[in-house]
Amino acid sequence: MGFDAIVVGSGISGGWAAKELCERGLKVLMLERGPHIEHGADYSHDLAAQLRRREDQVPVDERELHHPYYPGVSYALFNSNRKFWASDHDHPYETVPGKPYRWIRGYHLGGRSITWWRQSYRLAPQDFESNLKDGHGVDWPIRYEDLAPWYDHVEAFAGVSGDYDEIEQLPDGDFLPPYPMNVVEEAAKAAIEQAFPGRRMIIGRAAQLSRVTKVHQDLGRGRCEQRMRCVHGCPLGGYFSTLAATLPAARKTGNLTVMTDTIVTAVEYDPATGRATGVRTVDRLTKAGQVFEAKIIFLNASTIATAAILLNSRSDAHPRGLANGSDQVGRNLMDHVSCESITGRYPGFNDVHDPADRPTGIYIPRYAQITEQEKPYLRGFGMQGGAGRTRRIEARAMGGAEREEAGGGKPWSMALTPFGEVLPYAENRVTLSSKRTDQWGAPVPVIDAAHGRNEQVMMREAARDAYEMLKAAGCVDITPWEAAGEKITPPGDRIHEMGTARMGRDPKTSVLNGWSQAHEVPNLFITDGAAMTSSASMNPSLTYMALSARAANHAADLLRDGAL
């Protein structure tokens, strides 16, 4: 069977690329390196319901750096869903001594769309201009206005709950009804916004169906019932995932072929035409090789894996790797950065029930360099968190063991965790080992990345700000911010890797143009995190969706017009 397009990867961006291409009438082959996962039947949702959380939680000592599971996914890692997390032992990579990196992966159909935390925010106009203004990285080749209609498009299909907040630095979107704050959060919001007029506290925007539209019903998706076992897979389709949404939509067209257990190692290239012709693959189980051909290639293997595929696609025409005449493939690797969460006890409200079943938390959008100036760092951060009676409070903040209020039961507490923007540094990069290969014969990625002084200063200031906001809200026994601000997460820990094949205006300094199309290989498109030119401070998945839908439709237009 001939294919018009190959999509490498079945996660959030790959699912969107396949859906849009199929709906434009293209015959699409989706290749996933991991095993098949059947929506609903292969989830661990029911198993998780049978276990007490303590029985299901993976021990902390198994989440240290030497083990394939890390604190960065502690919210989502359970014994019952281990199959959704790739083992570093089976899928190795290397790091540079003294520079730890946590590459957290899900190798199966749907990828990390099954286990993501579903926070869905648009980048703001200033996020597309920051590189140009302060000189870090290269200028984005697009602006917010270019992506806005595609944000509309993906929000309506995915289903994003949120409030209309009218915040300059966090554009509103096409939202389903928001989830409510609890009474303690409402009280904290009022106190924080009064004490800091330039800061806003809102309910988090999440790709969660608080209400079902006809678009969702037609795919068999149901409203979120707030069972709070999301990371085990949702058989209702109450949150957005490839398996619940984009894959069924693509299959409805009759234009999609899916192959799992198929590892893409390189992109094939024809120097006579200057076009990619297909991809080289290895069967995960038999290790047999095969080549698949198509007119268009979409790389959506995830940031580091996409860079590795390009770097491994060497030829006489592209000796440094495919589409790498700029020497930017693998460079500018970014994540977000956090420090230790700042937590405090919230006195009172002893007679108020904590429902503890809301699938999102609160969010404080970036204010640094927006409503508050003269900060000792560039860019800024947002904060995620929330209040509850079941939240674990650190022993030192509580003076020892957990306390109980006079009225009985656990006290209310509130936590804030900053997520800061990481600048694009050319020296933070992915290369390939010249000595070591994985069990399928592909060179192992080598990751050389570290946070810079800007990130360190930012997190210390963020910890101070979080402390001051919790204090203004009325919290006591608050985590000492000085120590918390020094404990920053290593790169990769926030699971938002991006930047290794960045978009840009100049082929000499970037890999992709404004349509996520390789400057040097016009039928090659990349719309996963690798395409990002800067990281902004927001969770990036919604932007991956919008970039993927936009690029796929542009590619379909080019193919229709005979330009590819």
- Phi first, then psi, for residue 500 (nearest 5°) are -80, -5
List the pLDDT tens digit at each of the 564 positions of the chain: 689 999 999 999 999 999 999 999 999 999 999 999 999 999 998 888 888 777 787 776 665 544 455 666 777 888 889 899 998 899 999 999 999 999 999 999 999 999 999 999 999 999 999 999 999 999 999 999 999 999 999 999 999 999 999 999 999 999 999 999 999 999 999 999 999 999 999 999 999 999 999 999 999 999 999 988 899 999 999 999 999 999 999 999 999 999 999 999 999 999 999 999 999 999 999 999 999 999 999 999 999 999 999 999 999 999 999 999 999 999 999 999 999 999 999 999 999 888 888 999 999 999 999 999 999 999 999 999 999 986 443 332 333 334 444 445 689 999 999 999 999 999 999 999 999 999 999 999 999 999 999 999 999 999 999 999 999 999 999 999 999 999 999 999 999 999 999 999 999 999 999 999 999 999 999 999 999 999 999 999 999 999 999 999 999 999 999 999
Tell me if residue 454 falls in helix, strand or coil: helix
Which pLDDT value is given to residue 64?
A: 54
Which pLDDT value is given to residue 69?
A: 56
User: Whole-angstrom Cα distance, residue 103 to residue 447?
Assistant: 9
User: Whole-angstrom Cα distance, residue 74 to residue 484?
Assistant: 18
* 310: Cα separation from own chain's centroid: 21
Residue pair 11/111 in contact (Cβ under 8 Å)? The answer is: yes
Helix-strand-coil split of the chain, %, nearest 5: 25, 20, 50
String of DSSP letters for 77-144: -BGGGGGGS--TTTS--EEBTTB--------STTGGGTT---B--PPPGGGGTHHHHH-SS---SS-H
> Comparing C-alpha atoms, which of 260, 259, 300, 266 is closest to residue 281?
266
Domain residue limits at 139: 3-560
Which pLDDT value is given to residue 63?
A: 59
Which pLDDT value is given to residue 68?
A: 53
Q: Tell me which H or E stretch contains 548.
A: helix 541-560
Which pLDDT value is given to residue 397?
A: 32
Paired with 428 in beta bridges are none
User: Which amino acid belongs to residue 271?
Assistant: P
Which pLDDT value is given to residue 75?
A: 77
Which pLDDT value is given to residue 52?
A: 75
Which pLDDT value is given to residue 76?
A: 85
- Where are any strands of DSSP class E within 309-365? 336-337, 342-346, 362-364
User: Which amino acid belongs to residue 53?
Assistant: R
| β-pair type (256-259, 28-31) | parallel
Overall number of domains in the chain: 1
Which pLDDT value is given to residue 393?
A: 39
What is the largest distance, in Å, between two alpha-carbon atoms of the chain?
79
Query: CA separation (Å) from 161 to 91, 119, 151, 204, 485?
Result: 36, 10, 14, 8, 31
Which pLDDT value is given to residue 418?
A: 97
| pTM for this model (two decimals) | 0.95
Q: Using alpha carbons only, what angle is made at residue 252 by residues 249 and 258, rounded to the nearest 5 degrees?
A: 80
- How many CA atoms lie less than 13 Å away from 156 in the CB half-sphere? 9
Residue pair 279/291 in contact (Cβ under 8 Å)? The answer is: yes
CATH, residue 362: 3.50.50.60
